[in-house]
């Protein structure tokens, strides 16, 4: 596959995605998945046939590709064949894989406190506190601007979050004080958490590395990522008996089913539920039943003794 052979095709695919206003990251990922397919074919992806698609699916499975990568490849190739090449006949060979939903990793409030105190510097402590204190995704944290802090209404403005939707997140007094401390120290202009080059925001990878460092310093054995803080935010709110529909709005979930996942890890909520067994008439035997049972056990033990 040469650059000269792929460039017009790639350009057309990018144009097709731009028309549909795909995010820049989505465009990059789709192009990369198609490039991987072309590398496997050792020729242009435009020449692919049904058997080529089938062989590539087998190759991904045999090479140990995870479900997220396979589904990302399927999405990219479906778009490529159906839209860019206008060959919908190949799409029927591309189906998504259902991945069983796993319980999210959640930190206890004590672990969160240790974790945040172990953050490598005030900048990362503030950013990670936003992830936990407002329940933001890592991409939403790094995209915050100074102007997104609304201290009068005690809200954070999240612009173009997942699904390119704007929403408001909660801003607690403790988080506001921490952000003010960060602002007094660094005086950020534009981006609330600028990167090494102040013109650009801090990268998600940079914040993830800081997250791993904080977990290590806090001696937390669980596998912690910035998204773990979002999971913990939702779970702790649920354990405080906050209505799940309110939590859905705070997280920016389109479907309540997504938020309902946290009911499976809210251990305080589970512990506080009374079992229907506990509501029954006490099952303990009365005194007469206890005496009869004791006599019967004594008789059985006597019969069981071997002769002298």
Question: Is residue 285 in some structural domain?
Answer: no
| Catalytic, out of 78, 123, 230, 231 | 230
Q: What's the pLDDT score for residue 184?
A: 94
User: Encoding tokens for residue 132?
Assistant: 């936990």
Q: Is the pTM of this model over 0.95?
A: no
| Catalytic, out of 35, 69, 114, 227 | 227
User: Encoding tokens for residue 143?
Assistant: 């995209």
Question: What are the pLDDT digits (tens) for 54-93?
Answer: 999 999 999 999 888 999 999 999 999 999 999 998 888 7
Question: What are the pLDDT digits (tens) for 136-156?
Answer: 999 999 999 999 999 999 999
Question: What are the pLDDT digits (tens) for 245-274?
Answer: 888 888 888 777 777 777 766 666 666 666
Looking at the structure, do residues 175 and 41 belong to the same domain, yes or no? no
Torsions phi, psi of 170, nearest 5? -70, 150
CATH number at residue 168: 1.10.443.10
Question: Is residue 304 in some structural domain?
Answer: no
pLDDT band at 98 (very low <50, low <70, confident <90, very high): confident
| Catalytic, out of 78, 123, 137, 236 | 137
Express the helix, strand and coil content of the chain in percent, nearest 5 each. Answer: 60, 5, 35
Q: Is 227 a catalytic residue?
A: yes
CATH number at residue 85: 1.10.150
Looking at the structure, do residues 14 and 82 belong to the same domain, yes or no? yes
Q: Is 162 a catalytic residue?
A: yes
Looking at the structure, do residues 128 and 220 belong to the same domain, yes or no? yes
Question: Is residue 104 in some structural domain?
Answer: no
Q: Are 230 and 105 in contact (CB under 8 A)?
A: no
Q: Are 171 and 150 in contact (CB under 8 A)?
A: yes
Looking at the structure, do residues 49 and 165 belong to the same domain, yes or no? no
Question: Is residue 289 in some structural domain?
Answer: no
Torsions phi, psi of 63, nearest 5? -85, 0
DSSP 123-166: HHHHHHHHHHHS---HHHHHT-BGGGEETTTTEEEE-S-TTS--
* CA distance to 292, 293, 304, per residue, from 300 (Å): 12, 11, 6
- How far apart are alpha carbons 154 and 74 in whole angstroms? 42
Structural domains of the chain, count: 2
Domain ranges, residue 243? 109-269
CA 270 to chain centre: 22
Q: Is 230 a catalytic residue?
A: yes
Looking at the structure, do residues 179 and 82 belong to the same domain, yes or no? no
Q: What's the pLDDT score for residue 80?
A: 95
Question: What are the pLDDT digits (tens) for 296-305?
Answer: 666 555 555 5
Buried b (16+ CB within 10 A) or exposed e, 66-88: eeeebbbbbbbbbbbbbbbbeee
Looking at the structure, do residues 12 and 136 belong to the same domain, yes or no? no
| Catalytic, out of 253, 255, 279, 284 | 253
| Catalytic, out of 69, 162, 168, 212 | 162
Looking at the structure, do residues 151 and 230 belong to the same domain, yes or no? yes
Looking at the structure, do residues 59 and 137 belong to the same domain, yes or no? no
Question: What are the pLDDT digits (tens) for 6-30?
Answer: 578 899 999 999 999 898 889 999 9
What would the mean pLDDT of 189-216 be, rounded to a whole number?
94
- How far apart are alpha carbons 136 and 229 in whole angstroms? 9
Question: Is residue 102 in some structural domain?
Answer: no
Looking at the structure, do residues 133 and 194 belong to the same domain, yes or no? yes
Closest CA to 44 of 89, 80, 92, 90: 80
Question: Is residue 276 in some structural domain?
Answer: no
């Amino acid at each position: 596959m040469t650059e000269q052979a792929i460039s017009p095709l790639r350009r057309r695919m990018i144009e097709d995605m731009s028309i549909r206003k795909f995010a820049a990251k989505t465009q990059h990922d789709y192009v990369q998945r198609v490039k991987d397919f072309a590398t496997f074919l050792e020729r242009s992806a435009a020449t692919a046939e049904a058997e080529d698609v089938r062989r590539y699916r087998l190759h991904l499975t045999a090479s140990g590709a995870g479900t997220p990568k396979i589904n990302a490849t399927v999405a990219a190739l479906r778009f490529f064949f159906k839209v860019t090449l206008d060959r919908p006949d190949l799409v029927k060979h591309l189906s998504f894989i259902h991945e069983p939903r796993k319980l999210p990793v959640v930190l206890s409030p004590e672990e969160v406190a240790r974790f945040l105190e172990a953050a490598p510097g005030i900048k990362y402590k503030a950013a990670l506190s936003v992830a936990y204190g407002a329940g933001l995704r890592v991409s939403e944290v790094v995209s915050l601007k100074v102007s997104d802090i609304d201290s009068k209404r005690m809200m954070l403005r999240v612009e173009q979050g997942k699904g390119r939707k704007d929403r408001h997140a909660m801003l607690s007094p403790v988080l506001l004080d921490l952000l003010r401390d960060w602002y007094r120290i660094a005086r950020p202009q534009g981006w609330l958490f600028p990167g090494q080059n102040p013109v650009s925001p801090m990268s998600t990878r940079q914040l993830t590395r800081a997250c791993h460092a904080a977990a290590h310093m806090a001696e937390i054995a669980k596998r912690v990522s910035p998204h773990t803080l979002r999971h913990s935010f939702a779970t702790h709110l649920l354990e405080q008996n906050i209505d799940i529909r309110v939590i859905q709005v705070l997280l920016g979930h389109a479907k309540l089913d997504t938020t309902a996942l946290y009911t499976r890890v809210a251990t305080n909520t589970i512990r506080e539920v009374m079992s229907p067994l506990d509501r029954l008439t006490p099952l303990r035997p009365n005194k007469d039943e206890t005496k009869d049972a004791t006599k019967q056990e004594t008789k059985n033990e006597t019969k069981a003794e071997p002769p002298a």
